[in-house]
Amino acid sequence: VIDSHCHLADEAFAGDLDEVVARAMAAGLRSALCVLSMGEPGELARARRVAALWPDAGFAIGAHPHQAHDVAMGVAQLQAAVRTAAAGVERLLAIGEIGLDYHYDLSPRDVQREVFAAQVALARDMGRPVVVHTREAEADTREILEAHGPNPLDGVLHCFTGSAEMAAWAVGAGLHVSFAGIVTFPGAQALRDVARTVPVERLLVETDCPYLAPVPFRGKRNEPAHVTRVIEVLAVARGMRADVLAAEVEQNFDRLFGRDRRPVPGSQRPEEGQARRS
């Protein structure tokens, strides 16, 4: 089992991180992708604790759409800043989370688009997958990924809550689709129906913790161990055994982010990218 998207370096875990990681391991989690925000020294310091406590966890870093206004500095400068932030992260697997959030609109939309596009292009140049956050912004998300990403696209739409049409586009374009605790909510039948349409080899699961705890932990702090609930619910929705689905999802994670990662056509291997001077 793998939690493909969590915020373990969030302040919410500062007090009992070792117990949270121990519970994740006891629940059978082999690895997790721990997502970090750029420009937050406290979070980076806590990330080093996560890395020490959980040697198989990997990391992603990027400028979230909510913080786009803080990093609006021109494309080249922003790309340089993300590159520098990424170079400071141990076991970097991806650039993210990046994207568009037109639900909260915490940054002006044109700024969100600019910051997203710059990071999609950077990830392509670095040969890294992207972790995409998209909310009520399907058309613009597609357009930017198609215009600035590699072909086929390389990454995941995280915490997917979109339409069946958007999921089908993502799969056709080469992306993975990841479901979080929302899929366990009683009112989420439409989302479970969408989840059934995603081919199993493109499916990922996540907690997005500390947010979005699944049933029956709703309203409490979420943690990576609870990803097993997401798997159980998806397995029922798809008419599969939970352990079979968990094994499939683990393979998908390894193919996208980890040890079985395919080289991205037209881009450099990550190791070469790191060594390059520019």
Which of residues 9 and 198 has its CB atom nearest to Zn ion in the complex? 9
Which of residues 201 and 227 has its CB atom nearest to Zn ion in the complex? 227
Contact 58, 87 (CB under 8 A): no
Residue 208 CB, nearest distance to Zn ion (Å)?
5
Which of residues 97 and 138 has its CB atom nearest to Zn ion in the complex? 97
Which of residues 114 and 208 has its CB atom nearest to Zn ion in the complex? 208
Residue facing Zn ion at closest CB distance = 133
Residue 128 CB, nearest distance to Zn ion (Å)?
17
Residue 240 CB, nearest distance to Zn ion (Å)?
26
Using CB under 5 A, count the residues that bind Zn ion: 3
Which of residues 97 and 140 has its CB atom nearest to Zn ion in the complex? 97
Task: Rule CB under 5 A: choose which of 113, 124, 133, 148 binds Zn ion.
Answer: 133
Contact 203, 249 (CB under 8 A): yes
Which of residues 3 and 208 has its CB atom nearest to Zn ion in the complex? 208
Among the residue ranges 53-61, 67-75, 125-133, 145-153, the one whose residues contact Zn ion (CB under 5 A): 125-133
* Backbone torsions φ then ψ of 200, nearest 5 degrees: -60, -30
Token readout for 204 is 């990922």
Residue 109 CB, nearest distance to Zn ion (Å)?
17
Query: Per rule CB under 5 A, is residue 124 in the interface with Zn ion?
Result: no
C-alpha 143 chain-centroid distance: 19
Q: What is d(CA 275, CA 278) in angstroms, rounded to the nearest whole number?
A: 10
Residue 63 CB, nearest distance to Zn ion (Å)?
12
User: Nearest to residue 231, comparing CAs of 155, 197, 180?
Assistant: 180
Residue 104 CB, nearest distance to Zn ion (Å)?
11
Residue 43 CB, nearest distance to Zn ion (Å)?
12
Which of residues 39 and 273 has its CB atom nearest to Zn ion in the complex? 39
Task: Rule CB under 5 A: choose which of 206, 208, 223, 250 binds Zn ion.
Answer: 208
Q: What is d(CA 189, CA 185) in angstroms, rounded to the nearest whole number?
A: 8
Which of residues 133 and 192 has its CB atom nearest to Zn ion in the complex? 133
The β-bridge relationship of strands 92-101 and 130-135 is parallel
Kindly identify the residues of this chain, within the stretch 80-99, that bind Zn ion according to CB under 5 A. Answer: 97
Kindly give the interhelix angle for 17-26 and 41-53, rounded to the nearest 10 degrees.
40
Footprint of Zn ion on this chain (CB under 5 A)? 97, 133, 208
